[in-house]
Every structure is written in C-alpha cells, then in structure tokens.
Amino acid sequence: MSVPEGLERVVRRLAARAPLSEADRDAVRSLDFSYRTLEPASYIVREGEPVRNCVLLLTGFAFRHKVTGDGQRQIMSVHMAGEFLDLQNSFLKVADHNVQTLTRCDIASVPTDALRVLSESHPLVARAMWIDTLIEAAIFREWIVNVGRRDSISRIAHLLCEFALRLRHAGLAERDLYELPMTQEQIADSTGLTPVHVNRVLKELGRRGLIEREKRAVSIRDWDALREIGDFNSRYLHMEAGGPTTRASAA
C-alpha cells in the first residue's frame, strides 16, 4: 500500500466519526506529515517521555503496553492500519505508557501543535478525533471487563472476536479469516495470562471446532459459538458511531 493510500484510510476513518466536509478532509490531508517506515518492535512512544508528535498508522499493526515493577508486561490495546496512534497522549504532557510496532509499519507523524491548531480551526475534525478517543476508551473499558471477570477461554475468544470485527470493519480482512500478527506471548500479555496457558486455550478452541489456525492466520469456524463463549457483544466498538452513513452492524 502506498503512502497516500494509507493517509486516505485515516481520513476515511475520521470521516466515519463525524460528517466532515471536503474542506475538513483537505485540512487533514494537508497537515505537514513526515513519513517513516519502522521495523517490528520499534518504539513509537515511551512512557515518561514528553509527547510532541502524533502518529498515524498507515500500514501494519502496533500496540500499547505498560511494564509493571516486577517486569511483567500488560498490553492495553492493539492498533491497525488507519488508526491514530496517539490522540491518547497528544494532549497530555508526558506519555504514561509505551507504544510499539508489532509488525513493520508505515507511519505518518505530525507535531501535536499542528493538530491543536487544526482542531481549533476545524471543529468537526476536532469532534471526529474526540469521538475516536472515546471509542478507544470504550475498548479499554471492555478490556478491563475481559481481564477482570472472564476466564481464560472467554478472554481469548473475546479477543479473537474483537479483532475479527475491527479488521473486517476497516476492510483489512474477510468475514471470518484474518492474519493476526501476534505471538502467543503477546496474546498472553493482552489477556493477563501466561503464554503456556494461551497455547493450551488456543488448542482447546481448535479442538472444539470454533477456530482453525494456520501459522498466525486465524479462521473462525463457528461464529456463534465463539461469540457465545467469549461473551462478546460488539456494542462497545460503536461501529456506527456518529458516521454520516449508518453501516449494517455486524455480530
């Protein structure tokens, strides 16, 4: 995917949040982005550092995480092409968590000051960005529920459902087959489990005929059963939120 295509993906995503005019879209496009390609596992934001830029993910996958005092890692979200990576940090002074690439990624970054100016001159863009952060917060809340109150098999089933829907909604995957570029250790860090246990649960999901795995590709063989066991309801993804066109809500 070319850089301009990646940028269009971001614009499209924003436009789905609030009814942006063509002028609004152009204002986003004409921000003074600088483009880079990052290798897997590169840090985009480090906890404790001042935040000066906001990063857009044009291609690839990235994730947020924190490390506890005794060295355990918790992943708090996973991001895919087309998403703003850093509205969460951009208007605060110091980053309170790390953001790291999962795969090789093309990114565009823009000074947060430029974004602030844009948000003041284009209220609808500001509104779209705000709604985007609200939806991200909704996903954080669901993850609290996931790690706090579901058992291991539900947690993983829930995670797989969420990714399937988000990827499909973003046009990055088909209905029930997707490439999940996460190791089992990263899945463990997303669900508050150990890698060993994640492995056993994934096998169990396969044994029960809910999913099939081919390397890191996941195909969902029984949506209803997976949703059921994952206690999954897509409401928190707000896939219809504020958009100019209402899409058929999935799952």
CB of 155 to DNA, least distance (A): 7
Q: How distant, in Å, are the alpha carbons of 13, 64, 78 from that of 74?
A: 27, 9, 11
Nearer Cβ to its own copies, position 59 or 184?
A: 184
- Rounded CA-CA distance 125/2 in Å is 24
Q: Which is nearer to DNA, 128 or 187 (CB)?
A: 187
Give the dihedral of Cα atoms 244, 80, 170, 158; nearest 10 deg.
Answer: -100
- Summarize as ranges the residues that interact with DNA (CB under 7 A): 151-153, 183-185, 192-197, 199-200, 202-203, 213, 215-216
Residue 154 and residue 230: Cα distance in Å, rounded? 4
Closer residue to DNA (CB): 77 or 184: 184
Partner interacting with residue 117 (select from its own copies, DNA, none; CB below 5-8 Å by kind): none
Nearest distance from C-beta of residue 30 to its own copies, angstroms: 20
202 binds, among DNA, its own copies, none (CB under 5 to 8 A by kind): DNA
How near is the Cβ of 157 to DNA at its closest, in Å?
12
List residues bridging with 43 in a β-sheet.
100
Residue 4 interaction partner, one of DNA, its own copies, none, beta carbon < 5-8 Å per kind: none
Q: Answer with the entry of its own copies, DNA, none that 130 interacts with (C-beta below 5 to 8 A by kind).
A: its own copies
Q: CB–CB of 68/74 below 8 Å?
A: yes
What CA–CA distance (Å, rounded) separates 47 from 64? 10
**Can you give the binding site for its own copies, defined by CB under 8 A?**
47-48, 64, 66, 68-70, 72-74, 76, 87-88, 91-94, 96-97, 116, 119-120, 123, 126-127, 130-131, 133-138, 140-145, 147-150, 191-192, 231, 235-236, 238, 240-242
Using CB distances below 5 to 8 A depending on partner kind, what does residue 50 bind out of DNA, its own copies, none? none
Q: Is 141 exposed, middle or buried (0-12, 13-18, 19+ CB in 10 A)?
A: exposed
Write the DSSP assignment of 149-199 as a string of letters.
Answer: H--HHHHHHHHHHHHHHHHHHTTSS-SSEEE----HHHHHHHHT--HHHHH
Q: Which residue has the tokens 């489990």?
A: 193
Q: Which does 93 bind (CB under 5 to 8 A by kind): DNA, its own copies, none?
A: its own copies
- Minimum CB separation of residue 235 from its own copies in Å reads 5
Closer by beta carbon to its own copies, 89 or else 101 = 89
Residue type, 29: R
Do 6 and 81 meet the contact criterion of CB atoms below 8 Å apart? Answer: yes
Q: Which does 153 bind (CB under 5 to 8 A by kind): DNA, its own copies, none?
A: DNA
User: Concatenated DSSP letters for 44-67?
Assistant: EE-TTSBP-EEEEEEESEEEEEEE
Between 175 and 203, whose beta carbon lies closer to DNA? 203
